[in-house]
Amino acid sequence: MQTRLACVKSKALRRLTRARARRNESAPTPANLILRRSQTAAAQAQMFSSTATAPPYSRANPFPGKLVVNRRLSGAESAKDTRHFEIDLTGWGLSYEVGDSLAVYAMNDPQLVDEMIHALGTTGDEQVPRPKGPTTTLREALLRDYGITQPTPKFLKAIIERANSSTLLKDLLQPKRKEDLDRYLWGMEVIDFLNEHPSAKFNPQEFVGLLTKLQPRLYSVASSLKVYPEQVHFIVDVIRYESHGRLRKGVASSFLAERANDVPVPVFPSVAKHFHVPEDPNTPIIMVGPGTGVAPFRAYLQERKAIGARGKNWLFFGSQHERCDFAYGEEFEAFKKEGILTRLDCAWSRDQPEKIYVQHRMRDNAAEIWKWLDADGAHFFVCGDARRMAKDVDATLRKIVQEQGGKSFEEANQYVEKLKSEKRYKRDVY
């Protein structure tokens, strides 16, 4: 929820001294925290009792999924923890198309919730409002209803109003300091501000009013119902990194990797009509999907094989190391041997001194890409990182059209824009 993030570098302006003050005696003690955690684990299976029992499934009516496969794809030497997940759909009637996404409602880390309750000086049993529906306890609200990691502007302003020492934060909240504020907030979470400013007091009802609703995370579907009629597959990079002396975890990725085996996983399909495969099975497709961006293209290939599509298929994949980061590598190699995957070009950014990315492989094959697009009528798909990869791929595509098509800069841009208008250039980037 997003991208999508495993390798993060600290760029914070400074690390402020952590002040962990003693709270009032009603706050849970460390021993009580252990008890609370065991109680939380016992109650997790009931946390999503409001999930649906019949289709159609939606944001308001999620399907209570059962996670049946949680398998690490990346090797032991990899800097990433990339996981393949499968959810059982048997008997539930949930449907999707290749190219769609799966929305996952995660539950926050119980340990982080315990730390937050302790920092607030509460018991966790206080009644608080939920974004929708009846009131619930503070503990349950923080577990499943509210986003408790990223500080909201309302929360930061409340810290300034209540804390005895928040001069720096007040200065950074000035409009002209937005970039400095972003750098300062990198890796900072709500719990850091509660611990850093113990003089800022909040009652439970006020506190949840400063948080946002916990949003579902979207993951590209990595399977075809024609091959797996009772399952949905997806791939996730598990986010874990150190910042400001604490281990940080992605909300949904850590939930799926660490705590979802024995509890319902509420999910619903998110339709992406703009990213479906061409209706004509004879249409060639070019797919660019480094990292977890390869997910929909695994589904595309499964689907095209299942329906006997005769259109050519070309995949560009990239990651850090071939030996430990080739997600679904054996499957793609098998598709290639079977003739389903016409071409497979990979870019391994850390296997040689110079970094090689998917856009470099595109440049190496510029003439053939141009032939597929202009002569064969291929559709061009991109999935993955929007901040850098998608921009670089787009620029490379335009350069290929300009050089291989003998066009001016303006004409090349017009050609690419026409591909978009004809729905032959499709992107699912995040």
At 166 the pLDDT is 66
Give the whole-angstrom CA distance, residue 119 versus residue 198.
Answer: 8
- Cα-based distances in Å from 302 to 22, 90, 104, 289, 325: 57, 20, 23, 16, 21
Query: Which runs of consecutive H residues, i.e. helices, occur in 256-378?
Result: 295-307, 322-325, 329-338, 358-364, 366-370
Give the whole-angstrom CA distance, residue 355 versus residue 320.
Answer: 9
Give the whole-angstrom CA distance, residue 430 versus residue 428.
Answer: 7
Count of other CB atoms within 10 angstroms of residue 190:
24
- What are the structural domains, with CATH classification, of the chain? 1-46+107-214 (1.20.990.10), 53-104+216-271 (2.40.30.10), 273-429 (3.40.50.80)
Q: Among 279, 260, 294, which Cα is nearest to 107's?
A: 260
At 317 the pLDDT is 99
- Residues 23-47 pLDDT 10s: 233 333 333 333 333 344 444 444 4
- Residues 86-112 pLDDT 10s: 999 988 888 999 999 999 999 999 999
Give the whole-angstrom CA distance, residue 150 versus residue 245.
Answer: 17
Query: Do 240 and 295 meet the contact criterion of CB atoms below 8 Å apart?
Result: no
DSSP 3-state assignment of 212?
strand
At 6 the pLDDT is 35
Q: Which tokens go with 358?
A: 């998917």
H/E segment holding residue 190: helix 190-196
Predicted structure pTM score: 0.86
Give the distance, in angstroms, between the CA of residue 91 and the centroid of all CA atoms in the same chain: 28
At 91 the pLDDT is 84
Pairing of strands 240-243, 379-384: unpaired
Beta bridge partners of 137: 127
Report residues of the chain scoring pLDDT below 50. 1-50
At 9 the pLDDT is 33
Q: Which tokens go with 341?
A: 């995957």
Count of other CB atoms within 10 angstroms of residue 203:
14
Q: Which tokens go with 14?
A: 């400074």
At 175 the pLDDT is 87
Name the residue with tokens 């599509």: 309
Give the whole-angstrom CA distance, residue 102 versus residue 219.
Answer: 5
